[in-house]
Structure 1
Amino acid sequence: MGGWGEFIAAGLLFLASHAIPSMPQLKSGFVRVLGRRGWTLSFALLSTVLFFWLIFAAGRAPYVELWPQTAWARWLVNIAMPVAILLGSFGVAAPNPFAFEGRAMGFDPSRPGIAGLTRQPLLWAILIWSGAHLIANGDLAHVILFGGSGLFTLMGMRMIEARKRRLRGAEEWRRLVAHTGLVPGTALISGRWRPRGLPAALRLAIALAIWAALYHLHPVVIGVSPRP
């Protein structure tokens, strides 16, 4: 299977897999069989595999140019990616009860950490990644891939925020988010949050390693050099 057929199949399976968490009975069945940790790891692995398949399928789809690639757009990707990687590295497993990649334990509303910059760091990382790549890749398959990914991320952000607010209740939600922001930097600009202490050296090192790996492996894995 190849061409548009593979791309459509990969996209449909990716979307179908992400419908599972919104089906309580189906999800609870998986949790019963796999355990909560097993379900989380299995879903993360499935999502990753399907997402990479979707990326590769987009590269194999027929090339239909909507706008040409430009040097400045490739520079934009190279500037945006370190920002996205930093957000993801500081967001995963950080004390942050608002995001699916965070953990509730250890969160202090008066010192919210990464949630002070944004309550959804990983989703913003994905949005920055997809937005920058959308501008740089003007063929139809990649416009669908990156545009759809960005739209999917925005919808997911809205759904997560609404669900967390509903579960916490209005008063508790206001207390928890007092020194945080959804859009990156809004709490900093408004003065509701100030970073305290030095950035975690381990997370910075992880971000640097991920960026270096992605930059150097991009031509091998994706088949396209990220250099402008």
Structure 2
Amino acid sequence: METLILATLFLVGSHVVPGLPGMRSSLIEALGRRMFLAVYSIVSLAALVLLVWSYRTADAGTWLYLPSVEARTLAVLAMPVALFLLVGRLTTPAGSPEPVGIYRITAVPGSLSVLLWTLLHLAVLGGTRQVIVFAGMAAIALFSLVRNWQAASPARRRAGILPFSGMIRGREKLVWNEIGWGRLLLALAVWAALLLLHPVVIGPDPLAYLL
């Protein structure tokens, strides 16, 4: 279990350290952009491989808590929100300082989607190994969220962090044609595919808790 903890900390560090204020620019200046990206990619991949290996070789450990049926049901039903934010982020250009599409709903859709994904999994996975890994992923997502929020333009910050919070406060408005039904349907399709493939690829069947 100690190896898994160290591997998780290594993964967190490989994402957090290059994102610290001034660290990325200093590394790029010292190594050059291409070399920095190459080293960063190698270290990130090595951290991920080490995490997977240490997870598989670690003892199952004890259950730190027993997730309730309600928590499992909520995780299944709330997952489309995380997928909708992710689809919106991946299909919406992020270069404009003015909020467009998903950025009217939240200023940080990508990192918020990953954070929500990790928290939903933490709610339903109480094993020691699982909690260690997903807690590390949640830390990475939270760091990314804070960094992206700080880097967001004042116009984008009008949307706030929580979905629709800027609209509730009257600082932003929903322009649905900037999002479109296609992105929503794609998110639902990905959700359905994940539910069907989850017991085949990963193991547990999330649908079992909806019956």
In 2, the alpha carbon distance for the partners of 1:55 and 1:217 equals: 20
Distance 1:204 1:30, change over 3 A: farther
Cα offset, 1:31, TM superposition = 2.4
Any stretches of 5+ residues in structure 2 without a counterpart?
A: none
**Taking structure 1 as reference, are residues 47 and 205 closer, same or farther at Cα in structure 2, changes over 3 Å only?**
farther
Shift of 1:10: 3.4
Query: 2:27 matched to which residue of 1?
Result: 26
Take 2:191 and 2:35, find their aligned partners in 1: how far apart are those partners? 36
User: Which digits, 9 at most, give the CA deviation of each residue in 1:91-133, with x for residues without a partner?
Assistant: 12423xxxxxxx214x535xx3212211111111112111111
Stretches of 4+ aligned residues off by more than 6 angstroms:
none
Distance 1:15 1:225 in 2: 28
Q: Is 1:17 the counterpart of 2:7 in the alignment?
A: no
Aligned to 1:125: 113
Structure 1 counterpart of 2:84, from 86, 93, 102? 86
Structure 1 vs Structure 2 CA RMSD: 3.1
**Alignment partner for residue 212 of structure 1, among 178, 192, 204?**
192
Cα distance in 1 for residues equivalent to 2:107 and 2:59: 36
**More divergent stretch after superposition (188-197 vs 8-17):** 8-17
Aligned-pair CA distance for 1:56 = 7.5
In structure 1, the residue matched to 2:72 is: 74
Which residues of structure 1 form unaligned runs of 5+? 96-102, 166-172
Q: How many residues get paired?
A: 200
- State the one-letter code of the partner of 1:85: L
* Structure 2 residue aligned with 1:104: 95
Aligned-residue offset at 1:202: 3.5
Q: Which moved more, 1:17-26 or 1:153-162?
A: 17-26
Distance 1:56 1:214 in 2: 23
Work out which of the residue numbers 177, 180, 183 in structure 2 matches 1:203. 183
CA distance in 1, matches of 2:61, 2:169: 45
Partner Cα distance (1:189, 1:52) in 2: 43
Amino acid corresponding to residue 34 of structure 2 in structure 1: R
Aligned partners of 1:223 and 1:161: how far apart in 2?
A: 35
Q: Paired residue for 1:194?
A: 173
The 1:50–1:178 alpha-carbon spacing in structure 2 relative to 1, beyond 3 Å, is: closer
Query: Does structure 2 conserve the Cα–Cα contact (< 8 Å) formed by 1:89 and 1:207?
Result: yes
Contact kept, 8 Å, 1:119 with 1:182, in 2: the verdict is yes
Shift of the 118–49 alpha-carbon distance from structure 1 to 2, 3 Å rule, reads farther
Please give the TM-score of this superposition, normalised by the length of structure 2.
0.76
Which residues in structure 2 correspond to 1:32-181 (within 5 Å)? 32-33=34-35, 39=37, 43=41, 47=44, 51=48, 54=51, 57-58=54-55, 61-95=59-93, 103-105=94-96, 108-109=98-99, 112-162=100-150, 164=151, 173-174=153-154, 176-177=155-156, 179-181=158-160
Larger displacement relative to structure 2 (6-15 or 83-92): 6-15
Structure 2 distance, partners of 1:178, 1:139, is: 37
The whole-number CA distance in structure 1 between the counterparts of 2:78 and 2:147 is 25
Residue identity (%): 29
- More deviation, 122-131/14-23: 14-23
- Counterpart of 1:168? none
- Counterparts of 2:203 and 2:28, CA distance in 1: 36
